[in-house]
Amino acid sequence: MTGKRMGRRALLAGVLLLLSGCGYTLEGTRRPASLGAARSIHIPIFVNETREPDLGRSLASAVRERFLLDGRLRLVDPAEADLVLEAVIREYRQDPIGFSGADQVRRYRVLVRTHVRLRDTQRGRFILNQEIDSEAEYGVAAAIGGSEQARQQSTSSTATRFAEDILSLVLEGF
């Protein structure tokens, strides 16, 4: 082997050694230590203690979709799950936040308060046990149907934000 060839190999080995110790990881592959060896999750329909219809179903659906997109945990039936994500929706509120000159409501904020628990089925303990507030805003339209559509869109946006918050808490640890 020539000296030039040996020099190239030594340089390549040195670069690989430096890169391997830099702590670089691909985004979406990190997992908090609290999850242990968990590879699967079950997300049932959330308990809805509010008067807002189908809220438990829509929030659970948004969370399932977000976990499917992320791909780090497989969605499975309860009997196969390493983790179970349970939630109780405790409050759904619409607060007026914007008014016209005639003192009519023009804008609302939707608040959804949820208690979330992530249970490790292997170790029989809770990894996550906390309240999460999710919110979105919507404007009142001139037509009644437009206002209802805006309210429903706001609830959908709240569900999406809730799903992002859950994914961040479970898989990124914050």
Reference 109, options 45, 77, 157; nearest CA is 157
CB atoms closer than 10 angstroms to residue 48: 21
Radius of gyration of the CA atoms of the chain, in A: 23
What would the pLDDT profile of 59-116 be if each residue is shown by its tens digit?
Answer: 999 999 999 999 999 999 999 999 999 999 999 999 999 998 888 888 999 999 999 9
Q: How many CB atoms lie within 10 A of CB 51?
A: 7
Kindly report, residue by residue over 7-54, the tens digit of the pLDDT. 666 666 655 555 555 444 444 455 567 787 899 999 999 999 999 999
Q: How far apart are CA 130 and CA 104, in angstroms?
A: 36
Q: What is the pLDDT of residue 115?
A: 98
Confidence of residue 1 (pLDDT cuts 50, 70, 90): low
Strands 47-48 and 40-42, by their bridges, are unpaired
**pTM of the predicted structure, to 2 decimals:** 0.76
How many Å apart are CA 123 and CA 73, to the nearest integer?
17
